[in-house]
Amino acid sequence: MIVRDFNKEKNTDRKVADQRWNSVRLLLADDGMGFSFHITTIEGGSEHTFHYKNHFESVYCISGEGSIEDLATGEVHQITPGVMYALNLHDKHTLRATSELVLACCFNPPVTGHEVHQADGSYAAAD
Ligand code: 9YT
């Protein structure tokens, strides 16, 4: 069994930060679960375009408010606590945080912890 405490792990190198967001990776590829599990915090007032071409991702909103725009269709969905979105089509999207968003995220295949966002908003496929 693996037990980890976000409140401890947020002070370790499991926490990664980029412009106006950070993410604490509670499970990574080397845990052998087949997915990774992250708590991602998006700063209020910020927006981010991501395109996880090589991963499926599901995201559950724990707190905060914002929206997600599907850049293929222009459709905008409101994000409030309790809402989940799943990028089952590797959907390119823009995430907008009206207030600070705290999100629980799963990635399949799991993130290894060494990825950086590429210019196209994706993470490279794991080797
Ligand atoms: C909300 C979202 O897409 N989170 C992705 C995880 C975060 N970018 C990370 O841990 O790399």
Q: Cα(84) to centroid of ligand 1, in Å?
A: 14
Atom of ligand 1 nearest to the CA of 95: 1
Higher pLDDT among residues 124 and 83, named by residue? 83
Say if 117 falls within a structural domain.
no
Say if 33 falls within a structural domain.
yes
Atom of ligand 1 nearest to the CA of 59: 1
pLDDT band at 126, cuts 50/70/90? Answer: low
Residue 50 is part of a domain; what is its CATH number?
A: 2.60.120.10
Atom of ligand 1 nearest to the CA of 101: 1
Say if 62 falls within a structural domain.
yes
Residue 68 domain boundaries = 16-108
CA atoms of 55 and 53, how far apart (whole Å)? 6
Say if 32 falls within a structural domain.
yes
Greatest CA separation for the chain: 42
The DSSP call for residue 12 is: S
Say if 77 falls within a structural domain.
yes
Q: Cα(71) to centroid of ligand 1, in Å?
A: 17
Number of domains in the chain: 1
Say if 93 falls within a structural domain.
yes
Please give the radius of gyration of the chain, using alpha carbons only, rounded to the nearest integer. Answer: 14
CA atoms of 58 and 37, how far apart (whole Å)? 10
CA atoms of 125 and 48, how far apart (whole Å)? 20
**Would you mind telling me the total number of residues written for the chain in this entry?**
127
Strand order across the beta sheet in which 47-50 lies: 47-50, 93-97, 66-70, 76-79
pLDDT of residue 117: 64
- pLDDT tens digit sequence for 43-88: 999 999 999 999 999 999 999 999 999 999 999 999 999 999 999 9
Q: Cα(1) to centroid of ligand 1, in Å?
A: 24
Say if 118 falls within a structural domain.
no
CA atoms of 48 and 41, how far apart (whole Å)? 12
